[in-house]
């Protein structure tokens, strides 16, 4: 069945608390998605973020972001008073997340709710901690130590803690028992609220598409507690790190700095860590989009300590064996393969063998000198078409800045005449919707006809990323009606207008 959806980060939702969260606005957004005839809501990773605020650099691949906990639900439970939620400064700009203020205010408020919760006596909380002990114990301890070390990454901790000597870990667990309980409480409340919101979406006929980064962060509980999973030396320092090679856009490549997996170890253990990871992700999401899918075919390895990615080299990854194991353990699941970038024949074969749909990005399509796979006439049914992603400029912002030759080709190919500028994104949306691709997902900013001011992320930069927020009431009846008509016209929903 042909379907359509919207790409919208949770953090970008409007709310009264400086950042999008699992609040009434999130439920209202689901209602709007349903009213628009859409059936998919794609979000970015839900993990707790650190320096740089990137959801792709989380303190744990299994944990949830405490920023998304709704203060109003804490009030309803009697753990806070309404005045407790109003006395903090979460930032005054409704169109922008001020992460500095969010960090300072959010945890003070959450600690007060924790103290009032009496959560240690809650049977459901105890059951949650027991069920999730395989990751939660290490994560809660890691965050507690990190908090008392003023956020220092674990590579800077004293050696006994850094290499996890049993006595040092035991003493830390005893010393920080109160903080450990607090971080367990945050994860319990996060999961309660998220599952409630996801259930609401599913009952409305809306599936959640979640994003799973291929790599974990160096400064994470995953790396600190799972040294055997990664290419680390005896002092827990990485032998090599992840990135991308030099190309036209980046002459020195991209140095991501994530630890690389020891794939031999993972294969010997039947990919048990990956199975646990995917199992949890499918508890969070209905459809999983796997980021940087080509890294499973072969990955780029850069010597640790390098200042650029120039001296890296390609190494063979696990290939199909990981996904074969996942299918045997978890059954057939809905997965999207992020197969962007420079692809080799072996990557294409891997994507085809898994059966997962790949991605087609319209903003990548319009090279006047080439017949790109991303051009609509080259799309295939088993794929997902986007106007752009979280890493691209908005459709309007991109169109404003393309070169003259590219612009001329775009205008001819899409038959863009003399139309108002705010209509430009809708030309791209229409061409995505009419594509033969089974799935079409459009960034919310394109539905809103916004420019570069609404861009989510500029890769390989630090600063004003991940901070755009949608204004309240921006998702108007007019926009919803227009989406619904297009969904019906191109048969991407069950509601076909007459």
Do residues 296 and 319 make contact, with C-beta atoms less than 8 angstroms apart?
yes
Cα angle 319-226-302, degrees, rounded to a multiple of 5: 55
Distant-in-sequence, close-in-space partners of 175: CB < 8 Å, separation ≥ 6: none
Catalytic residue among 16, 262, 329, 391: 391
Structure letter (DSSP) for residue 289: E
The region that residue 460 occupies, defined by phi over 0 for left and psi between -120 and 50 for alpha, beta otherwise, is: left
Using CA atoms, how far apart are residues 337 and 87, in angstroms rounded to an integer?
44
Using CA atoms, how far apart are residues 40 and 212, in angstroms rounded to an integer?
16
Which SS3 state, helix, strand or coil, does residue 158 take?
Answer: coil
Using CA atoms, how far apart are residues 428 and 155, in angstroms rounded to an integer?
46
Catalytic residue among 338, 339, 393, 446: 338
**DSSP letters spanning 115-140:** HHH-GGG-HHHHHHHHHTHHHHHHHH
Using CA atoms, how far apart are residues 439 and 441, in angstroms rounded to an integer?
7
CA proximity to 414, closest of 436, 399, 397: 399
338 tagged catalytic: yes
Which SS3 state, helix, strand or coil, does residue 367 take?
Answer: coil
Using CA atoms, how far apart are residues 6 and 364, in angstroms rounded to an integer?
19
Q: How many CB atoms lie within 10 A of CB 227?
A: 16
Do residues 425 and 44 make contact, with C-beta atoms less than 8 angstroms apart?
no
93 tagged catalytic: no
334 tagged catalytic: no
CA end-to-end span of the chain, whole Å? 20
Cα angle 485-37-445, degrees, rounded to a multiple of 5: 85
Catalytic residue among 222, 291, 339, 363: 291
* Active centre residues (catalytic): 291, 338, 391
């Amino acid at each position: 069945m042909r379907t359509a959806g919207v790409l919208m980060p949770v953090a970008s939702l409007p709310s009264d608390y400086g950042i999008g969260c699992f609040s009434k606005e999130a439920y209202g957004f689901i209602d709007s998605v349903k009213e628009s005839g859409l059936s998919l809501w794609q979000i970015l990773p839900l993990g707790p973020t650190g320096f740089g605020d990137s959801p792709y650099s989380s303190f744990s691949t299994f944990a949830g972001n405490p920023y998304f906990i709704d203060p109003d639900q804490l009030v309803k439970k009697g753990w806070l008073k309404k005045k407790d939620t109003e006395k903090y400064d979460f930032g005054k700009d409704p169109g922008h997340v001020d992460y500095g203020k969010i960090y300072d205010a959010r945890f003070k408020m959450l600690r007060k709710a924790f103290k009032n919760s009496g959560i240690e006596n809650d049977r459901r909380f105890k059951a949650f901690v027991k069920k999730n002990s395989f990751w939660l114990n290490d994560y809660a301890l890691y965050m507690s130590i990190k908090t008392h070390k003023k956020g220092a990454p674990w590579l800077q901790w004293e050696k006994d803690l850094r290499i996890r000597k049993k006595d040092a870990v035991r003493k830390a667990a005893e010393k920080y028992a109160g903080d450990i309980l607090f971080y367990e409480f945050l994860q319990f409340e996060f999961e309660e609220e998220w599952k409630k919101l996801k259930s609401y979406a599913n009952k409305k006929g809306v599936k959640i598409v979640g994003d799973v980064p291929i790599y974990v962060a160096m400064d994470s509980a995953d790396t600190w507690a799972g040294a055997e999973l990664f290419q680390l030396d005896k002092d827990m320092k990485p032998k090599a790190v992840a990135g991308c090679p030099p190309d036209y856009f980046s002459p020195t490549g991209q140095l991501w700095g994530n630890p690389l997996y020891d794939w031999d170890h993972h294969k010997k253990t039947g990919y048990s860590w990956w199975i646990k990871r995917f199992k949890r992700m499918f508890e969070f999401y209905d459809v999983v989009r796997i980021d940087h899918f080509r890294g499973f075919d072969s990955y780029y390895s850069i010597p640790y300590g390098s200042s650029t990615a120039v001296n890296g080299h390609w190494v063979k990854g696990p290939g199909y064996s990981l996904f074969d194991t996942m299918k045997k353990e978890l059954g057939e699941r809905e997965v999207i393969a992020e197969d962007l970038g420079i692809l080799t024949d072996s990557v294409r074969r891997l994507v085809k063998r898994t059966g997962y749909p790949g991605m087609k990005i319209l903003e990548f399509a319009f090279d006047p000198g080439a017949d790109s796979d991303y051009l609509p006439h080259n799309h295939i049914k088993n794929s997902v078409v986007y106007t752009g992603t979280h890493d691209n400029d908005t459709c309007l912002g991109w169109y404003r800045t393309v070169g003259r030759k590219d612009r001329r080709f775009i205008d001819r190919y899409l038959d863009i005449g003399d139309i108002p500028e705010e209509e430009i994104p809708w030309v791209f949306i229409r061409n995505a919707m009419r594509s033969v691709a089974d799935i079409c997902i459009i960034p919310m900013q394109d539905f809103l006809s916004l420019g570069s001011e609404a861009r989510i992320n500029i890769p390989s930069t630090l600063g004003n990323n991940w901070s755009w927020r949608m204004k309240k009431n921006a998702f108007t009846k007019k926009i919803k009606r227009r989406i619904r008509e297009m969904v019906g016209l191109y048969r991407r929903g069950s509601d076909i207008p007459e």
